[in-house]
Amino acid sequence: MEGAVLASRIQFAFTIMFHYLFPIGTMGLAPFIAFYTLKGVRGDDGAMISARFFAKIFVVNFAIGVVTGIPMEFQFGTNWAAFASRSGSVVGQTLAMESVFAFLLESVFLGVFLYGRRRVPAGFYAFAAFAVWAGSWLSGFFIVATNAWMQHPVGYAIGSNGVIELRSIGAVLLSPFAWWQYLHVMTGALLAGAFIVAGIGAYYLLGRRSEAFGTRFVRTGTLVGLVAALIAVFPTGDRNSSNITQYQPVKLAAMEGLFESKTGAPLAIIGMPDVQHETLIDPIYVPSLLSFLAYGNFHANVRGLREYPRSARPPIELTYYAYHVMVGLGTIFVVITAAGALLLIGKRLYRSRWLLWIIMLAMPFPYVANEAGWVVSEVGRQPWMIYGLMRTAEATSPNVAAGETVFTAIGFLGMYFLLGVLFLLLILREIALGPSAEPALAPAP
C-alpha cells in the first residue's frame, strides 16, 4: 500500500503543478486586460490593441488550463476515493461552485470579449473584460477555499459513520485562513502577470521594435509588479505565516529548519538541514527575528522539530528549500521592481538596457516562486490529507495498484510534454507577431 500511496502522490503532484502554470497566467493577465480595455473604450487605441494582444496569450493559457485541469477532478475518484468518499460533502460543494459560478462566468464573457468587439456596446465590452477578471479570480477563490479547508478544517461535523459532514458553508468560505491564503495566492499571480507584461515590453525595447507598446508594457508591469511584490511580503505573506504559526507549528519549524525549541529564535537566511543529525549546516542567522516574525515578540519561544514525533513531521528538506526559494525570489522581485520604479521616476528606465535584460530574463521566476509556495503549503502539511482529521496514507483508493498509477503517470508525462511544447510555440508566435499585428478596431459605440 505504501508504494501505491507514493505513486498517487507523485502523479497528483506532477499533474497539479503542471496545471497550475496556466491559471497563474490567466489570473495574472486578467487585470491588465481589463485595465487596457477600459482605457481603450475611452479612446486610447493603443490600450485597446494591448488588451487584444494580451487576450491572445490569455486564451492560450485558459485553453490548456482547462485541458490539464479536467484530470484533477477525475483523480479524486480514481486515486483518492477514500478522501472523496469521506470529505465529499465539503470539498464537493466548493469545487462545484467553482465550476458553476466562476468558470461559467469567465468562459461566457471571454467569448463576448473575443467575438463581440463590434457586436456589443463599448460599455458592455469593457464590462465583459472585467467579468473575465472576476471569473478567473473567483475560480481561484473556490479552489483556494477548498485547499484552505484541508489545511484548517472548519464548519464540519463527524457523522456516526465517520463521514465528514458540512455544517456551515459560510464558515468554510469566510475562514480567515482561507482569505489570507487566497490573497497571497492572487498577489503571487498578479506578480507573475506583471513580469509577463514588463518582460514582453522589455523584449520589444531591447529589439527596438514596437517601442511604443514596449514602453507602455514596461511602465505598467514594473509599477504593478512593485506593488504586488510588496503586498506579497506584507500583509498577505505575513498573515498567512501567522496562520501557519497558530494552526500548523510543525510546518513553521520545517520551513525554518528549526530543530530545537528556542526563546528568541533566530531566522535562518541560508543553511542546509541535516535531518539525520537534526541540525542546520552552515547557517547564517538573524538573531531573534523568527520569534518576532512568528509571535511579534523578540523573546517568544518557538517550538522546534524535536518536540514532534518523526511520524508527525513533514518532509523537512523539501519544505525548507521550497520556502527559502519562494522567499529569496520574492526579495529579488522587490529589488528588481523597485530599481525599475526609481529609474522610471528618473526617466531612464527605457534606456537602461541592463535592467531591461534583467526584467526580460526574470519572466519565468515568478512561476517558480508560485510553485515553490504551493510545495511549502502541500508538502509542509504532510502527513495529513485533511489536517488533524485524515492522514494521506488513509486517503487513497484501496483497489488501485502502484503499477497502474505509474502507467497513467507516464501517459500524463508524454501528453503534458506535447501540450507544453504547443503552449510555448503559440505564445512565442504571438510575441513574435507583436501587438502591431492587431488592428485598431474600437468596440461598437
| Domains in the chain: boundaries | 2-436
118: pLDDT strictly greater than 90: no
What's the mean per-residue pLDDT of the chain? 93
Residues 6+ apart with CB under 8 A from 101: 138, 142
Q: Are 145 and 173 in contact (CB under 8 A)?
A: yes
Tens digits of per-residue pLDDT, 221-271?
Answer: 999 999 999 999 999 999 999 999 999 999 999 999 999 999 999 999 999
- List 286's β-bridge partners, or say none: 267
pLDDT bucket at 160, cuts 50 / 70 / 90: confident
Q: What pLDDT, on a 0 to 100 scale, did the predictor assign at position 72?
A: 85
308: pLDDT strictly greater than 70: yes
CA–CA separation, 443 and 445 (whole Å) = 6
Tens digits of per-residue pLDDT, 375-397?
Answer: 999 999 999 999 999 999 999 99
Q: What pLDDT, on a 0 to 100 scale, did the predictor assign at position 441?
A: 58
Q: What pLDDT, on a 0 to 100 scale, did the predictor assign at position 343?
A: 97
Q: What pLDDT, on a 0 to 100 scale, did the predictor assign at position 438?
A: 62
Section 178-182 average pLDDT: 97
Section 59-88 average pLDDT: 91
Q: What pLDDT, on a 0 to 100 scale, did the predictor assign at position 74?
A: 87
CA–CA separation, 161 and 150 (whole Å) = 20
Section 157-173 average pLDDT: 93
pLDDT bucket at 1, cuts 50 / 70 / 90: low
Q: What phi, psi does 385 have (nearest 5°)? A: -80, -50
Q: What pLDDT, on a 0 to 100 scale, did the predictor assign at position 100?
A: 84
The DSSP secondary structure of 284-338, one letter per residue, reads: EEETTHHHHHHHS-TT-EE--GGGS-GGG---HHHHHHHHHHHHHHHHHHHHHHH
pLDDT bucket at 25, cuts 50 / 70 / 90: very high
CA–CA separation, 383 and 153 (whole Å) = 15
Q: What pLDDT, on a 0 to 100 scale, did the predictor assign at position 444?
A: 60
Residues 6+ apart with CB under 8 A from 295: 245, 302
437: pLDDT strictly greater than 80: no
Give kind and range of the element (H or E) at residue 164.
Answer: strand 164-166
Q: What pLDDT, on a 0 to 100 scale, did the predictor assign at position 443?
A: 61
Give kind and range of the element (H or E) at residue 301.
Answer: strand 301-302
Q: What pLDDT, on a 0 to 100 scale, did the predictor assign at position 352?
A: 95
Q: What pLDDT, on a 0 to 100 scale, did the predictor assign at position 279?
A: 93
CA–CA separation, 359 and 218 (whole Å) = 9
87: pLDDT strictly greater than 60: yes
pLDDT bucket at 442, cuts 50 / 70 / 90: low
Dig out the grid coordinates for 149 from the structure. 479547508
CA–CA separation, 9 and 251 (whole Å) = 19
Q: What is the pTM of this model?
A: 0.95
Q: Which residue has the cell 541535516?
A: 274
Out of 70-79, 361-370, 385-394, which region has the weakest mean confidence (pLDDT)?
70-79
